[in-house]
């Protein structure tokens, strides 16, 4: 089987080159071709020794994800649905803003945590993505967008692990992927501009601090254990006090001196003034000096199976004001890509939509079987 070069961080690639009897510095050249130039054809990597160029196709490949569909929102937000085999699909979303380009990446097909307000959680867990599949989302988006915008400059400046899945439950694949995102020989992203979002896998927060500290966002959603147990079932394993301790342990290693807490505003469930006051008390009162944080209030993106509703804007404002009055920096997230269901928690839609994915994939298979051979290269056409 061919090794997928997207599976390797630069150290891994150097070890791979050594196994081929090549010098380690070849890995840097190869890494740059693949990630900086988006090249997957070894014969075009002209500064590699001819012997290596000839050998590589027999042992390695650059394995892209198959695109099932692409949707572009009226605000420029672009959502891709990728086929990861066996009826599973994951989504990646590009969000353009004046001063940055953010890519929201998936880490798993489905998710085992099962948060009540999250459509991915309602789907259940299928499998972990490989490092190559995580990196392939950025590899693809960066180079497609550069071509589309007619630039050789970097398009994606920020990456958030806020697509499908719980990144810290796929830790071993996540860390090499993060290293590739940060590498100057690949995407050269700043640690401050790469964010891991977690529902609170406490032991892995500690490991991330040691292995690859990037910006950390923690999905809080509730100011007490009773409510959080219900909304984020992982809280039963790692309750709030333990989670906030882990946040405080992370801060000395973090590229920013605060943690971002995400709080999805659910009408009548966690959005009352009393919840806001409780949240202030929790964050201020925890340990000696409280937790250094910012709070990001997320308007809930409803889906029928959740049985939940979005909080009215007026309620979000009341809630935000209570936090701000307590000197906690609070932002309300803009919803983007609403018209293409690319907002948080809408990724890959609900269970019904997932069936739609399977049907689309079946149609594609039939199409490909009936296509003439010269057509079969056009796998990436949206269906």
Single out the catalytic residue among 17, 111, 118, 344.
344
| Residue nearer to ligand SF4 on the CB measure, 197 or 311 | 197
Tokens of 168: 């810290």
Q: Decide which of ligand SAH, ligand SF4, none touches 106; Cβ closer than 5 to 8 Å per partner kind.
A: none
Q: Decide which of ligand SAH, ligand SF4, none touches 344; Cβ closer than 5 to 8 Å per partner kind.
A: ligand SAH
The question of whether 91 is a catalytic residue gets the answer yes
Distance CA 343, CA 330 (A): 20
Q: Decide which of ligand SF4, ligand SAH, none touches 261; Cβ closer than 5 to 8 Å per partner kind.
A: none
Residues that bind ligand SAH (CB under 6 A): 117-118, 162, 166, 197-199, 219, 262, 264, 298, 300-301, 344-345
Q: Residues 38, 42, 46, 48: is their CA dihedral positive or negative?
A: positive
Single out the catalytic residue among 17, 22, 91, 133.
91
Nearest to 262 by CA among 162, 190, 192, 193: 162
Applying CB under 6 A, among 12, 64, 101, 121 the residue interacting with ligand SF4 is 121
DSSP tag of 32: I
The question of whether 242 is a catalytic residue gets the answer no
DSSP tag of 362: H
- Distance from the Cα of residue 127 to its chain's centroid: 15
- Is residue 132 at the binding interface for ligand SF4, with CB under 6 A as the rule? no
Q: Decide which of ligand SF4, ligand SAH, none touches 95; Cβ closer than 5 to 8 Å per partner kind.
A: none
Q: Are 228 and 270 in contact (CB under 8 A)?
A: no
Nearest to 342 by CA among 108, 71, 96: 71
As a residue count, the chain comes to 383
DSSP tag of 227: H
| Interacting span for ligand SF4 (CB under 6 A) from 106-114, 202-210, 361-369, 374-382 | 106-114
- Supply the residues annotated as catalytic: 91, 344
Residues binding ligand SF4 (CB under 6 A): 111, 113-115, 118, 120-121, 165-166, 199, 219
């Amino acid at each position: 089987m061919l090794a997928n070069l997207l599976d390797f961080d630069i150290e891994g690639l150097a070890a791979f080159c050594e196994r081929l009897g090549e010098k380690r510095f070849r890995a840097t050249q190869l890494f740059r071709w693949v990630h900086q130039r988006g090249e997957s054809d070894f014969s075009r990597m002209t500064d590699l020794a001819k012997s290596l160029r000839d050998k590589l196709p027999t042992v390695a490949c650059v394995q892209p994800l198959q695109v099932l569909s692409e949707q572009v929102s009226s605000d420029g937000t672009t959502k891709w649905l990728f086929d990861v085999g066996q009826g599973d699909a994951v989504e990646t979303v590009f969000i353009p803003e004046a001063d940055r380009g953010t890519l929201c990446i998936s880490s798993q097909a489905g998710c085992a945590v099962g948060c009540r307000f999250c459509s991915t959680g309602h789907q259940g867990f299928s499998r972990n993505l490989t490092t190559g599949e995580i990196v392939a989302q950025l590899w693809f988006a960066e180079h497609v967008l550069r071509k589309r915008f007619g630039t050789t400059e970097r398009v994606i400046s920020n990456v958030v692990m806020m697509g499908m899945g719980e990144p810290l439950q796929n830790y071993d694949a996540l860390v090499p992927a993060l290293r590739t995102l940060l590498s100057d020989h690949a995407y050269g992203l700043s640690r401050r501009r790469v964010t891991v979002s977690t529902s609170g896998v406490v032991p892995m927060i500690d490991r991330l601090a040691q292995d690859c500290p990037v910006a950390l966002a923690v999905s809080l959603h509730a100011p007490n254990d009773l409510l959080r147990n219900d909304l984020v079932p992982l809280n039963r394993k790692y309750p709030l006090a333990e989670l906030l301790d882990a946040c405080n342990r992370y801060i000395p290693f973090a590229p920013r001196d605060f943690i971002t807490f995400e709080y999805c505003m659910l009408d009548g469930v966690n959005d009352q003034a009393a919840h806001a006051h409780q949240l202030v008390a929790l964050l201020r009162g925890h340990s000696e000096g409280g937790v250094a944080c910012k709070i990001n209030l997320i308007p809930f993106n409803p889906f029928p199976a959740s049985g939940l509703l979005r909080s009215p804007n007026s309620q979000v404002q009341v809630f935000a004001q209570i936090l701000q009055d307590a000197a906690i920096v609070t932002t309300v997230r803009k919803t983007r890509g609403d018209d293409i269901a690319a907002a948080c928690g809408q990724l890959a839609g609900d269970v019904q939509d997932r069936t739609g994915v399977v049907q689309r994939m079946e149609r594609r298979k039939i199409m490909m079987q009936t296509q003439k051979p010269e057509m079969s290269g056009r796998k990436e056409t949206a269906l």
